[in-house]
Amino acid sequence: MHLGLTAKVDLTVTADDTAESVRSGDVPVLATPRIVALVEEAAVAAVAGQLAAGETTVSMRVQLDHLAPSAVGATVTASAKLEKVEGRRLKFSVSVNDARGLVAAGKVTRVVVERERFMDKCL
């Protein structure tokens, strides 16, 4: 795993992505929980193909500032860049932009785990 791995994920905001729909508010704009999912998706994509067989990453920490609204119909782009590797912890800088500029920015930490062993903890 090397520093600087990046990925981008696009989303055209629909009614299903709004704060009203996910019940995190009562306005018809892109919901913060949906932004969290989008930056997580970008972080996963950044390290796709870099893990050993049987490994995956799981979310550990999300620190995010949601700075501006995005309306239904807007296209947003989430970006993730691997900034630091500390053992099994992968630390990403993330951002989300739309045509008007920065929508959200922050950090995501994911942990490399053995998929089967991790799932055994659910039993």
- Active-site residues, by number, are 32, 40, 66
Q: How far apart are CA 104 and CA 62, in angstroms?
A: 12
Task: Quote the DSSP letter at residue 108.
Answer: E
Residue of 38, 39, 27, 40 lying closest to 72 (CA atoms): 27
Helix (H) or strand (E) holding 37: helix 32-46
Q: How many CA atoms lie within 13 A of 5 on its CB side?
A: 19
Q: How many CA atoms lie within 13 A of 96 on its CB side?
A: 34
